[in-house]
């Protein structure tokens, strides 16, 4: 088993353990504070998935900048891996948020909430970059175009991060290390921490596997080109 696959497996096992702990061990929340206390446990999936999405979008930003400014193949592979990982984790966070929102708020989406919509736009950006890149022949112009989207689209990450600190519309604000006594209790925090670490390991493993996959595809393309006589 390769290193990327091993890291992936460790992360996946951690995610499974997190969900088991969230279901069987994490304390229940008050029925007075939540419309749907059972649905609140989606939090242990939703928050780490969003965290992993930010890591993936960070990788997309670094890879895009590296390609545009250094013309590095390694950075292009990071761009590809970051966009695919960002798409997958972004969809995980959006989907789990919709399920939770439907149970807690009575609606899966709120078009007036800045956090929801800026994160939704980030996920749409990842969909555009992944589908657009796959539909175009690989070349410098194609790479430049999608790297520019990856570079400038990153502005949505800090906006999404600070959105609930500036505009608390429907999405709740921070619940960890708030400093004002409104943090979640330690058992809930422990499960959330295990989830965040597991998702981080998982997404790093995925990006390693994805970068290797892109390298293999490029090698295969070069080899086919050489076998065809270099024409």
Partner 1 sequence: MEGMTYLAVAYFGMLVAIALWTWTVVQRSRRLDERLLAMEAAAGKTDAEDNSKA
Q: Which residues bind partner 1 (CB under 8 A)?
A: 5, 8, 12, 15-16, 19, 22-23, 36-39, 41-42, 45, 88, 92, 96, 99, 103, 202, 206, 209-210, 212-213, 216-217, 219-220, 223-224, 226-227
Q: How far is the CB of 123 from partner 1 (least distance, A)?
A: 15
Residue 168 beta carbon to partner 1: minimum distance, rounded to whole angstroms: 26
Shorter beta-carbon distance to partner 1: residue 70 or 219: 219
Sign of CA pseudo-dihedral 177, 182, 186, 192: negative
Question: Least separation, in Å, of the C-beta of 141 and partner 1?
Answer: 25
Closer CB to partner 1, 7 or 129, in the complex: 7
Residue (10 or 159) nearer to partner 1, CB = 10
Of 196, 208, 120, which is closest to residue 156 (Cα–Cα)? 120
CB of 127 to partner 1, least distance (A): 15
Q: Which two tokens stand for residue 139?
A: 């070349």
- Crossing angle of helices 73-104 and 114-135, in 10° steps, is 140
What's the min distance (Å) between Cβ of 223 and partner 1? 5
Neighbours of 60 (CB within 10 A): 33
Core vs surface per residue 7-35: b (16+ CB within 10 A) or e: bbeebeebbeebbebbeeebeebeeeeee
Nearer to partner 1, 140 or 227 (CB): 227
Alpha helices in 30-166 (DSSP H): 43-70, 73-104, 114-135, 140-153, 156-166
Looking at beta carbons only, is 5 or 144 nearer to partner 1? 5
């Amino acid at each position: 088993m390769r290193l990327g696959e091993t890291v992936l497996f460790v992360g996946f096992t951690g995610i499974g353990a997190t969900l088991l702990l969230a279901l069987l061990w994490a304390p229940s929340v008050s029925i007075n504070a939540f419309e749907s206390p059972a649905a609140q446990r989606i939090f242990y999936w939703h928050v780490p998935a969003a965290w992993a999405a930010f890591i993936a979008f960070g990788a997309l930003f670094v890879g895009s900048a590296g390609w545009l400014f250094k013309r590095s193949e390694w950075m292009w592979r990071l761009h590809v891996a970051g966009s695919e990982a960002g798409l997958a984790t972004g969809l995980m966070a959006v989907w789990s948020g919709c399920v939770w929102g439907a149970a807690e708020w009575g609606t899966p989406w709120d078009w007036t909430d800045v956090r929801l919509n800026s994160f939704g736009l980030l996920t749409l950006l990842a969909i555009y970059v992944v589908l657009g890149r796959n539909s175009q022949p690989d070349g410098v112009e194609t790479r430049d175009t999608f790297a520019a989207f990856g570079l400038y689209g990153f502005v949505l990450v800090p906006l999404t991060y600070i959105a609930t600190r500036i505009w608390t519309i429907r999405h709740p604000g921070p619940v960890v290390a708030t400093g004002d006594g409104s943090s979640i209790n330690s058992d809930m925090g422990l499960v959330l921490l295990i989830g965040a670490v597991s998702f981080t390991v998982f997404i790093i493993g995925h990006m390693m596997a994805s970068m290797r996959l892109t390298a293999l595809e490029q090698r295969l393309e070069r080899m086919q080109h050489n076998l065809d006589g270099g024409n």
